[in-house]
Amino acid sequence: MRSTVISGLAELSAMKSSGDVTALGLYCQVAREAAADAGLERGEIDGLLIHTPFDGFSLYWPTVLADTLNLKLGFFDVVELGGASAAGMVWRAAAAIEAGLCNHVLCLTADVFTGLGGVRDLMPGQRQEYEMPYGASPPNGYYAMVARRHMHQYGTRPEQLAKIAVDQRTNAMATPGALFGSKPLTIDDVLNSPMVCDPLHLFEVVSPCSGGAGVVVSRRSAAKSAHAPISILGAGEAGSHLNIARRPDITHSWAQDSAAKAFAMAGLKAADMDVAQLYDCYTIAVLILLEDLGFCAKGQGGAFVAGHDLTWSGDFPCNTSGGQLSYGQPGGAGGMIPVVETVRQLMGRAGERQVLNASKGVAHGNGGVMADEVTLVLAN
């Protein structure tokens, strides 16, 4: 993928409500902002990847958006890997460009939060029939079971998980547009927040909201951005079951496989990364990804987060825009946060929270209950 780059980005502020604006409206806004950021005119965009928004499933979604924006496309598709969709778009766009299908691909995510009912109705039948009667249809229950198992097998402590939320909150306070960027958190605040699904507390669980984000993947020779383009050094994707509960050991995820592929392609390892942006629907997801991507050994995630400063100015900058836990989870756009923030840091555009000398970063998306995993290794 060395002949392709990420040439632009856009990210809307997280909103509790988008008012009358639909996901289609947010998609259009993100598309215009991302194209402008990449220095591209409408006629130069010839690729489009999106995910299915919650507020209105329809066939031909990419065509609907192309029609609305008056785009003439040579490559368009839906990427549906839950929270891994955004990261999954990036390498698909790069592959399409390398195959000669197009030059500039908009990779876009947007969602408006319309209540959990809409989300539920889009869930696979297996979940509705086999999991909901046990109260476990929601991801909450499964991530809580993973957390309890991790605590049992490795002695991971609630305050170690809570520290992830605390450090990410500090990052959000330096991030314009974050939904929870005004008030700091302490470990006690997290542990004293209401139990949502024991052992996970309220501040360890993402808050759904509305928003949108995207990047532009371009042929390197055609990139026009005023910003230094970002190289895609490696990509890996892995998964097989809808649910991690089917794995022999639920404290390991397919992220081990996606990360191994991505780092091997890049010729780098986890320790070479200057920033890590890891999908964080729950604190336990971050902990498992830290282990599975190779930042520490399996079972050492608790000690790792306790022993490192995960803030933007710390010794291990992680989820430097606050992640979904503190920026907010705008549906499918939540999965774009790791991608956009990695690109922003590597372009040197992170403002107050800029990580000094950041040249390499990993962005990781996770869909389902640690089910669909996509790792991207990026560099400036």
Partner 1 sequence: MQRCQGCSHWHWPAVSRCSECGAWDPPWQDVPIEGAVFSWATTWHPFGGTEAIGVPYTTVLVALPHADNRRLLGLWEGEEGELSMGAAVVGSVGATMVGKTEVPSLRWRLAR
CB 302 within 8 A of CB 284: no
Asked whether position 43 contacts partner 1 by CB under 8 A, the answer is no
Q: What does the block give as tokens for 230?
A: 């970002």
Select 17 or 126, whichever has its Cβ closest to partner 1.
Answer: 126
The reply on whether position 298 binds partner 1 by CB under 8 A is no
Total residues contacting partner 1 by CB under 8 A comes to 37
For Cα atoms 171, 177, 181, give the angle at the middle one, nearest 5 degrees.
40
Pick the binder of partner 1 from 145, 217, 266, 288 (CB under 8 A). 145
Among 20, 117, 315, 357, binds partner 1 (CB under 8 A): 117
Nearer to partner 1, 14 or 206 (CB): 206
- Find the binder of partner 1 among 3, 17, 58, 126 (CB under 8 A): 126
Q: How many CB atoms lie within 10 A of CB 129?
A: 10
Given the complex with partner 1, which of 343 and 369 has the nearer CB atom? 369
The single residue listed with the structure tokens 């995820």 is 253
Buried b (16+ CB within 10 A) or exposed e, 206-220: bbbbbbbbbbbbbbe
Q: Does 112 bind partner 1 (CB under 8 A)?
A: no
Segment near partner 1 (CB under 8 A); pick from 129-137, 228-236, 335-343, 358-366 = 129-137
> Alpha-carbon distance 251 to 161, whole Å?
14
- Judged by phi (left if over 0) then psi (alpha if -120 to 50, else beta), residue 100 lies in left
Residues 178-197 that bind partner 1 (CB under 8 A): 194-197
249 DSSP assignment: S
Q: Which one of 4-12, 133-141, 223-231, 358-366 is the stretch in contact with partner 1 (CB under 8 A)?
A: 133-141
Instruction: Return the residues of window 320-349 that contact partner 1 according to CB under 8 A.
Output: none
Is 132 a binding residue for partner 1 by CB under 8 A? The answer is yes
CA–CA gap between residue 178 and residue 321 (Å, rounded): 8
**Minimum CB distance to partner 1 smaller for 14 or for 244:** 244
Residues 252 and 272: their CA atoms lie apart, in Å, by 22
Could you say whether residue 157 binds partner 1 (CB under 8 A)?
no
Encoded tokens for 243 = 């649910």
**Residues, the chain:** 380
**Which residue in 112, 115, 110 sits closest to 19, CA to CA?**
112
Closest CA to 328 of 187, 179, 219: 179
Are 50 and 229 spatial neighbours (Cβ–Cβ below 8 Å)? Answer: no
Q: Is 120 in the site for partner 1 (CB under 8 A)?
A: yes
Pick one of 17, 60, 74, 135: the residue that binds partner 1 (CB under 8 A): 135
Select from 146-154, 167-175, 335-343, 369-377 the region that touches partner 1 (CB under 8 A).
146-154
Q: For residues 187 and 168, what is the distance between their CA atoms, to the nearest angstrom?
A: 12
17, 128, 186, 192: residue in contact with partner 1 (rule CB under 8 A): 128
Closer to partner 1 by Cβ: residue 34 or 136: 136
Question: What tokens were used for 83?
Answer: 């929270």
Show contacts with partner 1 in window 224-283 (CB under 8 A): 245-246, 250
Residues that bind partner 1 (CB under 8 A): 116-117, 119-120, 126, 128-142, 144-146, 148-149, 152, 194-200, 202, 245-246, 250
